[in-house]
Amino acid sequence: MADQVQGRCLCGAVTFETDAVPTAQILCYCSDCQSVSGGPAYAAYLVPLANVALLSGEVSAFTVTAESGRQNTRKFCTQCGSRVWAEIPELSMASVSGFALPRGHFRPEGLHRAGNAPDWCVLDERLPAFPPEA
């Protein structure tokens, strides 16, 4: 089953699509995601890396080593700087910015690293931990 959707950066110079049903849609509270999003969490729409295609524009890349030790290459629009997705080769996954997709397409299903949320942040207690706790 496919879930073909196109996304874009803030200025519209970069457009991309993914044609995969997301593995997960989560709010990530890790410190890297907080820094890159400028907020308490990042809206991560997780799909197989092979299912993300750049349709137009040019992206720049910045690679970081996440707290997990994995390499995470963030892709940004060269014009407006909007993050559009990140590539996690070790997992063969892409973390597409949920808010680069059409409004209403991203629907969080879980919370990742919620213990790292700022103390003033109100968490949606209806959402389970991701990955699910054993």
C-alpha distances out from residue 2 to 30, 62, 108, 132, Å:
29, 29, 18, 24
Ranges of each domain in the chain: 5-116
pTM over the 0.85 mark: yes
Asked if pLDDT for residue 28 goes beyond 50, the answer is yes
- For all residues of the chain together, what is the average pLDDT? 93
Instruction: Specify the pLDDT at position 134.
Output: 45
What is the spatial distance between Cα 119 and Cα 107, in angstroms, rounded to a whole number?
23
Domain 5-116 has CATH 2.170.150.70: yes
Strand runs labelled E in 31-123? 42-48, 52-56, 59-65, 71-77, 83-88, 93-97, 110-112
